[in-house]
């Protein structure tokens, strides 16, 4: 059973400061061990338990035990609830969006569809089947898009599903009426996702039908946004290159790479007939440089690197050539031995081409304390 927000906050906040049976605070080793059981990936609508790592005026950042951190808007909490939270407390939240333009997981405390009756669900399910347009109002903006209310019911309108003419100025839509169409309605997971791209001409549908995954196309950049770039193809079809598909290296700001009017080549990842859009990738037209940089690395090789982050998940390391390295928490005796910004030697454990990183192990530089037989 899901606890109320107030009970959840109170319970999780207390648990974060709880001592062990012996009366001693939970050790770093215990904390690291507890992290190993956390999920490696998450999905939209899923409940997740996170630990607060920072609190700012507008948002709360949580460690979810995954590669990406979670962000919870402070407006989800009452002033009293926010005032009682501190770094180290744990919160039970649910996933609104698995990744925003900053690579963070967008979280919420209350399920937006929690109070829907079966008849209200039916209304959205019927609109989904018929591709019907619904009248709504944009209530608020977050990093991933807009919260839209339709006849008293709230759903989510992702930035990528806003019409091209308005996508660059989402804040101007807050408080205004918008036409939306449901594209995801899942009662069991309390999920309602809208699209503003409700009308797809027969010409666009026909041109979309000619595209398939793997095709290489040419187009012109029509808009540059924090989450990616919109590209108009020669056929008139609109394509989206998500920020994660622009380059093999992380792109912090697409506007530093592309501008409106630039000609680009891309690869088709998928086609969305209901929204009249193709999902594209620019990076997949070239080979992954990680594979070339890491091809000569073998298990037990000694490498040098700079520590970039120390967390309960482990130690993140920047290796020569810009390669990302990682020492999992289970392979670390004492995290305090590592300091962000300092250089160390490490042992290569394995090379993970899928995650584009080198798994590392600590390199023993002293035999003190070792016992030989």
| Residue ending a domain, choose from 139, 173, 195 | 195
- Reading phi first (left if > 0) and then psi (alpha if -120 to 50, else beta), residue 87 is in beta
Expressed as residue numbers, the domain containing 168 is 118-195
Q: What is the pLDDT of residue 27?
A: 44
The answer on pLDDT for 252 being more than 80 is yes
| Residue ending a domain, choose from 166, 195, 224 | 195
Q: What is the pLDDT of residue 5?
A: 41
- By C-alpha distance, which of 104, 101, 103 is closest to 225? 101
- Of 18-27, 224-233, 277-286, which has the strongest mean pLDDT? 277-286
Q: What is the pLDDT of residue 114?
A: 42
- By C-alpha distance, which of 372, 208, 364, 176 is closest to 279? 208
The answer on pLDDT for 306 being more than 90 is yes
- Is pLDDT larger for residue 283 or for residue 76? 283
| Measured distance CA(121)–CA(186) in Å, rounded | 9
Q: Verify that 122 and 143 share a domain, yes or no.
A: yes
| Residue ending a domain, choose from 162, 195, 228 | 195
- Strand 302-311 to strand 277-281: parallel, antiparallel, or no bridges (unpaired)? unpaired
Residue 368 resides in a domain: no
| Measured distance CA(215)–CA(280) in Å, rounded | 10
Q: What is the pLDDT of residue 217?
A: 94
For the chain, give the percent of residues with pLDDT over 90: 22
Q: Verify that 99 and 123 share a domain, yes or no.
A: no
Q: Verify that 10 and 104 share a domain, yes or no.
A: yes
Q: Can you tell me the mean pLDDT for 260-286?
A: 90
240 and 224 Cβ atoms separated by less than 8 Å: no
Q: What is the pLDDT of residue 291?
A: 86
The answer on pLDDT for 9 being more than 50 is no
Q: How many domains is the chain built from?
A: 4
The length of the chain in residues reads 373
Tokens of 155: 């759903």
Residue 113 resides in a domain: no
Residue 325 resides in a domain: yes
Q: What is the pLDDT of residue 119?
A: 60
Q: What is the pLDDT of residue 21?
A: 37
Q: Using one digit for the tens of pLDDT, what is the confidence trace for 77-121?
A: 766 667 778 888 888 888 888 887 777 888 887 544 344 455 667
Confidence of residue 341 (pLDDT cuts 50, 70, 90): very high
Confidence of residue 48 (pLDDT cuts 50, 70, 90): confident
Q: What is the pLDDT of residue 23?
A: 41
CATH number at residue 319: 2.40.50.140
Q: What is the pLDDT of residue 118?
A: 56
CA 336, 340, 13 angle in degrees (round to 5)? 65
Scanning the structure block, which residue is given the tokens 């939970």?
Answer: 26
pTM of the model: 0.53
Q: Verify that 206 and 189 share a domain, yes or no.
A: no
The answer on pLDDT for 11 being more than 50 is no
Q: Verify that 122 and 174 share a domain, yes or no.
A: yes
Residue 10 resides in a domain: yes
- By C-alpha distance, which of 189, 141, 192 is closest to 169? 141
Q: Using one digit for the tens of pLDDT, what is the confidence trace for 132-191?
A: 888 889 988 876 788 888 877 788 888 878 876 677 677 888 888 888 988 888 766 667
181 and 194 Cβ atoms separated by less than 8 Å: yes
Q: What is the pLDDT of residue 78?
A: 65
| Measured distance CA(51)–CA(54) in Å, rounded | 9
Q: What is the pLDDT of residue 14?
A: 38
The answer on pLDDT for 2 being more than 80 is no
180 and 146 Cβ atoms separated by less than 8 Å: no
Q: What is the pLDDT of residue 73?
A: 84
Residue 292 resides in a domain: no
The answer on pLDDT for 22 being more than 70 is no
3-state secondary structure the chain: CCCCHHHHHHHHHHHHCCECCCCCECCHHHHHHHHCCCCCCCCCCCEEEEEEEEECCCEEEEECCCCCCEEEEHHHCCHHHHHCCCCCCEEEEEEEECCCCCCCEEEECCCCCCCCCHHHHHHHHHHHHHCCCEEEEEEEEECCEEEEEECCEEEEEEHHHCCHHHHCCHHHHCCCEEEEEEEEEEHHHCEEEEECCCCCCHHHHHHHHCCCCCCEEEEEEEEEECCEEEEEECCCCEEEEEHHHCCCCCCCCHHHCCCCCCEEEEEEEEEECCCCEEEEECHHHCCCHHHHHHCCCCCCCEEEEEEEEEECCEEEEEEHHHCEEEEEHHHCCCHHHCCCCCEEEEEEEEEECCCCEEEEEECCCCCCCCCCC
- Of 21-25, 100-104, 305-309, which has the strongest mean pLDDT? 305-309
């Amino acid at each position: 059973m899901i606890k109320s927000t107030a009970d959840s906050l109170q319970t999780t906040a207390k648990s974060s400061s709880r001592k062990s049976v012996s009366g001693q605070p939970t050790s770093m080793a215990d904390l690291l061990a507890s992290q190993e059981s956390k999920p490696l990936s998450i999905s939209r609508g899923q409940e997740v338990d996170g630990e607060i790592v920072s609190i700012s005026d507008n948002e709360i950042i949580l460690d979810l035990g995954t590669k990406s951190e979670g962000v919870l808007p402070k407006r989800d909490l009452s002033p009293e609830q926010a005032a009682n939270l501190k770094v180290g407390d744990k919160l039970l939240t649910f996933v609104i969006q698995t990744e925003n333009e900053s690579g963070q997981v967008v979280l919420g405390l209350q399920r937006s569809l929690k109070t829907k009756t079966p008849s209200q669900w039916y209304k959205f399910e019927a609109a989904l089947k018929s591709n019907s347009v619904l009248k709504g109002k944009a209530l608020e903006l977050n990093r991933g898009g807009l919260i839209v209310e339709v006849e008293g019911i709230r759903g989510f309108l992702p930035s990528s599903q806003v019409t091209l003419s308005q996508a660059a100025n989402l804040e101007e839509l807050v408080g205004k009426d918008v036409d939306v169409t449901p594209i995801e309605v899942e009662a069991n997971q309390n999920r309602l996702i809208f699209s503003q791209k409700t009308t797809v001409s027969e010409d666009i549908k026909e041109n979309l039908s000619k595209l398939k995954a793997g095709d290489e196309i040419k187009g012109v950049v029509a808009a540059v946004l924090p989450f990616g770039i919109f590209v108009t193809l020669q056929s008139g079809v609109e394509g989206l290159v998500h920020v994660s598909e622009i380059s093999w290296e992380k792109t912090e700001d697409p506007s530093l790479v592309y501008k409106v009017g630039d000609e680009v080549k891309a690869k088709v990842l998928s086609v969305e007939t209901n929204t009249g859009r193709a999902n594209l990738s620019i990076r997949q037209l070239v080979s992954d440089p990680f594979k070339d940089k890491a091809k000569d690395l073998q298990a037990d090789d000694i490498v040098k690197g700079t520590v970039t982050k120390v967390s309960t998940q482990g130690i993140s390391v920047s290796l020569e050539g810009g390669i990302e390295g990682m020492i999992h928490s289970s392979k670390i005796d004492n995290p305090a031995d590592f300091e962000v910004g300092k250089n160390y030697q490490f042992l290569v454990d394995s090379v993970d081409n899928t995650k584009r990183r080198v798994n590392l192990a600590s390199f023993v530089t002293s035999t003190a304390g070792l016992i030989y037989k």
